[in-house]
Amino acid sequence: MQWNLTTILILLGALFAGYGIGLLEMHLSRQKKIKALEEALQAEQNRQEIPPASPPPEASLLRLWADADQAPKLELDGALLDSPASATPEQRRRLITLLTQIRPWLEGGPAVPAAAASVPAPAPAPAPKPASAAAAKVAEPVVPPVAKSIVAQINDVLQSRLPGTPLAAKRIRLGETPGGGVLVYIGTDRYDGIDAVPDPEAVATIRAAISEWEKR
């Protein structure tokens, strides 16, 4: 092969062309890597800028307060009740359900702190000297009557409605669980709640007793 000027120029042109193509490919590859890195950084920045989702607001079930005239105001499930007469039967049943749920919490309230229990009580006034042995006899303490629960009050109304009806022989009565739930007894059978009773006539009688209790 003869090395003339034309051949040398062709070889040099091919060499420079290959070198240029290599540089171009390196540049394009570098640009792709830079662009991918920029997109990843932008996505990470967008994730950091998204504020965390705030928790849903808590629903108010029952609220009691006094207005400027010290008149009690009651709000049930966000609805204001101006007076007991303004409550619908559904609202009365809802209020009974909430009070039944609250009662175990009230009965199992926290104990009196030890600091409060250690406060000395004021000294009692000296008792007058008894005039006779009969007057010296210590009077027995009077135990205040225990208020009946809502379920017990409704059961009293139910028992007053049963005599003289076909349901009197079925021995229907209401009870309650330690947690405040309603139990229905028909003879020796027990049902958890009014809706679990299979006898529609018994259910109607129990609901009639509840309605009568609400009107009292």
pLDDT in tens, 149-204: 888 899 999 999 899 888 888 899 998 888 778 899 998 999 998 889 999 998 99
> What is the spatial distance between Cα 145 and Cα 103, in angstroms, rounded to a whole number?
18
Mean pLDDT, the chain, rounded, equals: 75
List, in order, residues 6 or more apart from 206 with CB less than 8 Å away: 158, 172, 174, 184, 194, 197
pLDDT reported for residue 3: 60
Task: Give the span between the Cα atoms of 139 and 124, in whole angstroms.
Answer: 17
Instruction: Name the residue among 209, 152, 144, 140 with its Cα closest to residue 182.
Output: 152
pLDDT tens column, 45-72: 777 666 666 666 666 777 777 777 777 7
In angstroms, rounded to a whole number, what is the distance separating the alpha carbons of residues 37 and 63?
56
At residue 2, does pLDDT exceed 70?
A: no
The alpha carbon dihedral of 197, 202, 207, 213 has a sign of negative
- Quote the pTM value: 0.39
CA gap 165, 173 in Å, rounded: 14
Residue 115 has pLDDT above 50, yes or no: no
